[in-house]
């Protein structure tokens, strides 16, 4: 997760290349902080003097290349970049921690939902058993009342005779 550098940082960086190139006797022809089509954030171009051997040319180019980095460090822009990187790392750490906490909450929620469903199923089973027993007791009560009425009728009949 790399953010684009600030315009100020890019300016320092490209200026560093240009100053070092000029100091090394190269002719600077372009310094820009416009983003390029190649994904760069800026550019510096210079012309090599004629008559350089490839080893000397390579050394000059390496020194010019380090000029951008050196200018960023000298300007404090590198510290800004380091602070931004540290901030991004901390954000990633916090995001990861938040995802962990969210996952733990979701697991807890799922566990509670499962326990509630289990309790509701047990309650429904007990309700059905209660209704069955109540129906059976009601049937027994009705039968007992009929027997009592029959007994009362028999007693009245026996008593009156």
Distance CA 60, CA 25 (A): 9
Helix 7-23 and helix 77-160, axial crossing angle in degrees, nearest 10? 150
pLDDT of residue 132: 97
30-62 in b/e burial notation, b at 16+ Cβ within 10 A? ebebeeeeeeebbbbebeeeeeeeeeeeeebee
pLDDT of residue 59: 82
Sequential pLDDT tens for the chain (161 residues) = 456 778 888 888 888 889 998 998 888 988 888 888 888 888 888 887 776 667 777 788 888 888 888 888 788 766 666 777 777 888 898 899 999 999 999 999 999 999 999 999 999 999 999 999 999 999 999 999 999 999 999 999 988 76
pLDDT of residue 26: 87
């Amino acid at each position: 997760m790399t953010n684009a550098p600030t315009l100020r940082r890019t300016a320092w960086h490209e200026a560093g290349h240009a100053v070092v190139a000029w100091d090394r006797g190269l002719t600077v022809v372009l310094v820009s902080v416009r983003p390029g089509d190649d994904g760069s954030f800026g550019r510096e171009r210079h012309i090599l003097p004629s008559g350089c051997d490839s080893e000397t040319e390579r050394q000059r180019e390496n020194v010019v290349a380090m000029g951008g980095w050196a200018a960023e460090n000298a300007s404090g822009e590198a510290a800004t970049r380091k602070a931004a990187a540290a901030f991004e790392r901390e954000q990633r750490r916090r995001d990861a921690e938040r995802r962990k906490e969210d996952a733990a909450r979701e697991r807890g929620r799922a566990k509670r939902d499962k326990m509630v469903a289990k309790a509701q199923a047990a309650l429904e089973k007990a309700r059905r058993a209660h209704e069955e027993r109540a129906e059976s007791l009601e049937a027994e009560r009705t039968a007992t009342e009929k027997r009592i009425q029959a007994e009362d009728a028999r007693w009245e009949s026996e008593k009156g005779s």
